[in-house]
Structure 1
Amino acid sequence: MSENQNLLAEQRRALILDEVRRRGGVRVNELTRKLGVSDMTVRRDLDALARLGVLEKVHGGAVPVAEASTHEPGFEAKSGLELTAKEDIARTAATLVAPGTAIALSGGTTTYALAHHLLDVPDLTVVTNSVRVADVFHSAQRSSGQRQGAATVVLTGGVRTPSDSLVGPVADQAIAALHFDVLFLGVHGISAEAGLSTPNLAEAETNRRLVQSARRVVVVADHTKWGTVGLSSFATLGQVDTLVTDAGLPARARAEISEQLRRLLVAGAPEDGADAAESPGTALADDENSADF
Structure 2
Amino acid sequence: MLAAQRQGRILERLRRDGSVRVTELVEELAVSDMTVRRDLDALAGRGDLRKVHGGAVAPEGARTEEPGFAAKSTRQAAQKHAIARAVAELVEPHSAVGLSAGTTTALVAEYLLETPGLTVVTNSLHVAEVFHRSERSDRAVALTGGFRTPSDALVGPLALASVRGINLDTLVLGVHGMAERAGFTTPNLMESDTDRALVEAAENLVVAADSSKWGTVGLSTIAPLDLCGVLVTDDGIAPEARHTLEDHVGRLVVADVPPESA
TM-score range, shorter chain: 0.7 to 0.9
Q: Deviations over 1:11-47 (max 9, x none)?
A: 68x956863663524559x7x945669x9xx59x83x
Tell me whether 1:19 sits opposite 2:10 in the alignment. yes
Q: Give, in angstroms, the shift of residue 189 of structure 1.
A: 1.1
**What SS is found at the alignment partner of 2:231?**
strand
Contact 2:209 2:231 in 1 (8 A): yes
Q: Which amino acid aligns with 1:258?
A: E
Q: Tell me how far 1:175 sits from its aligned partner.
A: 0.4
> Is residue 248 of structure 2 the alignment partner of residue 260 of structure 1?
yes
**1:188 corresponding residue in structure 2:** 176
1:20 & 1:233 partners in 2: Cα distance? 21
Structure 2 unmatched runs, 5+: none
For 2:73 and 2:154, locate their aligned partners in 1 and report how far apart those are by CA, in whole Å.
18
Question: What is the correspondence of 1:194-233 to structure 2 with a 5 Å cutoff?
Answer: 194-233=182-221
* Uncovered stretches (5+) of structure 1, i.e. residues with no partner: 3-10, 271-293
Q: Counterpart in 2 of 1:179?
A: 167
Using a 3 Å threshold, how does the CA distance of structure 1 residues 241 and 49 change in structure 2: closer, same or farther?
closer
> Following TM superposition, by how much is the alpha carbon of 1:202 offset from its aligned partner in structure 2, in angstroms?
0.5
The alpha carbon displacement at 1:238 in A equals 2.0
Report if aligned partners of 2:205, 2:228 keep a CA contact under 8 Å in 1: yes
**Residues 120 and 227 of structure 1: CA distance in aligned 2, closer, same or farther (over 3 Å):** same
| SS at 2:166 equivalent | coil
Q: Which has the higher contact order (CA 8 A, sep 6+)?
A: 2
- The equivalent of 1:111 in structure 2 is 105
Instruction: Give 3-state SS (helix, strand or coil) of 2:248's partner.
Output: coil
For the 8 Å contact 2:8–2:212, the answer to whether it is kept is: no
Q: Structure 2: how far apart are the matches of 1:180 and 1:224?
A: 28
**Residues 1:130 and 2:124 are matched in the alignment:** yes
Aligned to 1:69: 63
Q: Which amino acid aligns with 1:175?
A: V
The aligned residue for residue 170 of structure 1 is 158
- Any idea what SS the aligned residue of 1:178 has? coil
Q: For residue 147 of structure 1, report the CA deviation from its aligned partner.
A: 4.0
Q: 1:262 is matched by which residue type in structure 2? A: G
Partner letter of residue 138 of structure 1? Answer: H
Q: 1:209 to 1:248 in 2, by over 3 A?
A: same
Larger CA Rg, structure 1 vs 2? 1
CA distance in 1, matches of 2:240, 2:7: 21
| 1:55/1:253 CA distance change after superposition, 3 Å | closer
Secondary structure of the 2:212 match is: helix
**Bigger shift: residues 54-63 or 96-105:** 54-63
> Contact (CA 8 Å) 2:9, 2:238: kept in 1 or not?
no
| C-alpha deviation, 1:173, in angstroms | 0.6
TM-score, normalized by length of structure 1? Answer: 0.75
Which string of whole-angstrom CA distances, capped at 9 and with x for unpartnered residues, describes residues 136-173 of structure 1?
Answer: 1112x2xxxx4443x21111011111111111111011
Q: CA shift at 1:121, angstroms?
A: 0.6
Alpha carbons 1:20, 1:26 under 8 Å: kept: no
State the one-letter code of the partner of 2:198.
L
Please show how residues 43-122 of structure 1 align to structure 2 within 5 Å: 46=41, 50=44, 52-58=46-52, 62-122=56-116
Question: Pick from 217, 236, 249: which aligns with 1:248?
Answer: 236
